[in-house]
Amino acid sequence: MRNAGIILGVCILAMIGSNPSYGRDNSDWTTYTSMNWANDLLADSDGVWAATEGGVYRYDLKDMTYTTYTNLNGLAGNVVLSIERDASGNLWFGTDGDGLSKWVEGEGIVATYSDFAGDRINDLCAYGDMLFVATAKNGISVFLPDREEIKENYRMLGRLTKDAEVLCVEVIGDRLWAGTAEGVAFADLNQPNLLDPASWNSRKVWNVQTIAHDDSAVYVGTRWGVFQWKDGKFRVAGSLTGQVYDLIAHGTEILAATEEGLFRKYEETWKRYAWFSNEIPVFVARSASPTALWLNAQGIGLTYLWGSRRTHVPPPPGPPGNKFMDLQVDPNGVLWAATSGRDEETKGVYRFDGEHWCQYFTKSVVSVHVDPKGRIWGGTWGSGGFLIEDDGTANTAADLISELTPDNTPLRPTVNKRWVVLNDFSVDGWGNIWMCNYQANESLLPPPVTPLVVIDDFPASEQQAFSLSDDGLPTGEINVVTAAPSGLVWFGTRELGFSLLDVGGTPFDKRDDHLVTLSTASHKELTSDNVSDIVVDQEGVLWVATDNGVNAIRGAYSPTEGTFTVESWDRYGREEGLGSAIIHVIVEDAVGNKWFGTEGGLSRLGARDGSIVTYTRANSGLVDDGVRSLAFDAHAGELWIGTTRGLSKLEVPISPTPAFPEIRVFPNPMILSHENAKITFADLPADASSVRIFTRSGELVCVLTPASGMRTVTWDGGNGARNMVGSGVYFYVVTDALGRHITGKFAVVR
């Protein structure tokens, strides 16, 4: 899942101020978020605005187009919970922890306000020159747009608990109504002091999500149905039970969006709305006119009802979901993503070719890996693994998909007989596929516990499983596996450090195997025993990511003695400048810089000067600071950054150094079937120190070292394990004694 990538070039970004809306250049960044899940809608005669989990969009009914807004357009944050229009026609967007944004017609998003940073803005209500803001931590805030400040906070509403989360706010007549996590409260706006709890009338009816009214009563939607305030009394409003997400006044009717569908109030009962008779959950509804209605429903998305006509609006542009747990780029430049989510519409594997998003499966996928043949290996949390042989098009039905199960591989279940977890892959120099078959320590299944397996192909003609009892593996809870160019296999565990496995070049014969384990018990320098990633860099240094920083270890392994001797051990954490001590992923670029995906942003450790630069939402176009996955497209010069709130792409231009001469590469293409096939790199700089060859997805194939004084070097097409590479486009990086670089590409045909 966490394989080292290579990027051909260096990314430099200036560190600027902390305001996320002003003073930064986001031209090198692109944001990809899913806007399929709408939290709030604001309808008008020409279309609808939607606050979503991935930003804000407007859908125009006339030309059937979307206009989208994300952090790159100045939005305070991409998880937007609420929308409101003020008397001047300006729009206000409330986010989950990132503040408040203001949109002006013809200008777009013009300002963000950090007064609400760290708090959820669940709802907004414009009233005169004020904006009532329903928050999770500070009750109801009274925001004054003209003065750009919070006037006061109503934190104790009657007898409700102080600072109870306010989920909705509404002005009805001359009363301010508030729905909270434990009840409903209202107060007369003409009173002189709403800071006084005695100014509020409250009722505990639990989890009030929404409030609406008609000419005769006020209706309160809760987790347990609808209540009604009429003639000074609260009572149950009809027979509706279960979660009510939204209430709206639609013409002369009150409509309820619920977990069982859309209902309209009819006298003292509720009747299912005619167009939604299949009990589809409806999450939010808004009325554009007495005859027009906008809905967002599970599995259907945005729907427009006008009289007797119903129109399903095509989904907004972007991926199906926002959780990107693992990323890989295949030889054709297609991005593959392992994803998970709260519903089936967002889970699975995504394929993105730069234009089309495709989705495979409806299960939580935690790992993807592209092998040298361009096949996609993937693992799930509980449903085993799979192998996708992509036909190169967006037609998923044309692809060949195979399941990896205990019946056709050495995989074993964990916890129970049906639960198979496959959370990482790596391909060694011989083309064998190594898999982390996570097996919980508390499992009651009979032994053996075999958390590490290897197969030569699929279907496998050779396979092997490594166990705790027979092979000395320290634990069944293995997080990551990395097959190093040296032939060693490194793997990291959840609570017992990391290990190296020397299979002696024969992974299917255990007679010459050696295992060495390093943990805090044996090496106090190790920052934590919870290891999330392992990378062996171009100089042979071992980089180990943990939940308490990064370890850089130089050492020597003795195959004759089966021992690993530490020569130096460096550690990196927040004190050294990383965004967070919690590290999810490490990659190395072509010039030796290390990139760390952390809970606090993307950090880069410079190879030449050891400087650390951290990219966050505050100083860059990064979609979110919690970076879970990274992938590089060496050909396009693009760094893909996966988070649990969307996907970012950073353009990393690849430009030759002017001081370098023109390098000749021949024959191009290199045809391996020809006798004594070799490709020549000629006219190298006189002081060229190396020629590194990479796949398109950034994996190092081999390093060529010119003889002293020679300006020519040849390559026979073999990788580090002396196996011939497959057909495809490959890239080279020539480095001179001063550390300067020039890049190019060539083709190989088998």
CA distance 319 to 323: 10
Is 5 contained in some domain? no
CA distance 617 to 577: 16
Is the per-residue pLDDT at 159 higher than 60? yes
Confidence of residue 14 (pLDDT cuts 50, 70, 90): very low
Is 354 contained in some domain? yes
Is 459 contained in some domain? yes
pLDDT given at position 737: 72
Is 202 contained in some domain? no
- Per mean pLDDT, which range of 26-30, 396-400, 549-553 is the poorest? 26-30
pLDDT digits (tens, 9 = 90+) for 677-720: 899 999 888 888 889 888 876 778 888 988 887 889 999 988 86
Task: Report the CATH number that the domain containing residue 669 is assigned in CATH.
Answer: 2.60.40.2470
CA distance 603 to 595: 6
Q: Are residues 430 and 469 in the same domain?
A: yes
Please state, for a pLDDT cut of 70, what percent of the chain lies above it.
94
Q: Are residues 587 and 692 in the same domain?
A: no
Q: Are residues 583 and 695 in the same domain?
A: no
Confidence of residue 341 (pLDDT cuts 50, 70, 90): confident
Q: Are residues 504 and 377 in the same domain?
A: yes
- Per mean pLDDT, which range of 69-83, 98-112, 503-517, 723-737 is the poorest? 723-737
Confidence of residue 12 (pLDDT cuts 50, 70, 90): very low
How would DSSP label each residue in 225-270? EEEEEETTEEEE-SS--S-EEEEEEETTEEEEEETTEEEEEETTEE
Choosing from 592, 627, 651, the residue where a domain stops is 651
CA distance 210 to 212: 7
Amino acid at 150: I
Half-sphere exposure of 315 (CA within 13 A, CB side): 20
Q: Are residues 296 and 259 in the same domain?
A: yes
Amino acid at 677: A
Is 418 contained in some domain? yes
Q: Are residues 586 and 723 in the same domain?
A: no
pLDDT given at position 721: 63
Rounded average pLDDT over 517-530: 97
743 contact partners, CB below 8 Å, separation of at least 6? 8, 9, 590, 654, 656, 731, 732, 733, 734
Is the per-residue pLDDT at 77 higher than 90? yes
Is 102 contained in some domain? no
Q: Are residues 385 and 244 in the same domain?
A: no
Q: Is 218 helix (H, G, I), strand (E, B) or coil?
A: strand
Task: Report the CATH number that the domain containing residue 452 is assigned in CATH.
Answer: 2.130.10.10
Is 237 contained in some domain? yes
Strands 385-389 and 376-382: antiparallel
Cβ-based burial of 63 (10 A; exposed 0-12, middle 13-18, buried ≥19): exposed
Residue identified by tokens 């899913």 is 34
Q: Are residues 673 and 625 in the same domain?
A: no
CA distance 68 to 50: 10
Full residue range of the structural domain in which residue 223 is found: 218-301
Is 69 contained in some domain? no
Choosing from 593, 624, 651, the residue where a domain stops is 651
189 contact partners, CB below 8 Å, separation of at least 6? 127, 171, 174, 175, 176
Q: Are residues 690 and 735 in the same domain?
A: yes
Q: Which one, of 516, 542, 546, lies nearest residue 533 by Cα? A: 546
Rounded average pLDDT over 488-514: 95
Q: Are residues 375 and 473 in the same domain?
A: yes
Q: Are residues 630 and 711 in the same domain?
A: no
* The total number of structural domains that make up the chain: 3
pLDDT digits (tens, 9 = 90+) for 31-62: 999 999 899 999 988 899 999 999 999 999 99
Q: Which one, of 595, 555, 603, 554, lies nearest residue 575 by Cα? A: 603
pLDDT digits (tens, 9 = 90+) for 615-668: 999 899 999 999 999 998 877 888 899 999 999 999 876 544 445 567 889 898
Cβ-based burial of 89 (10 A; exposed 0-12, middle 13-18, buried ≥19): exposed
Choosing from 618, 651, 684, the residue where a domain stops is 651
- Under 8 Å between Cβ of 349 and 360: yes
Please provide the distance, in angstroms rounded to a whole number, between the alpha carbons at the two ends of the chain: 28
Q: Are residues 576 and 689 in the same domain?
A: no
- Three-state SS for 180-214 is ECCCEEEEECCCCCCCCHHHEEEECCCCEEEEEEC
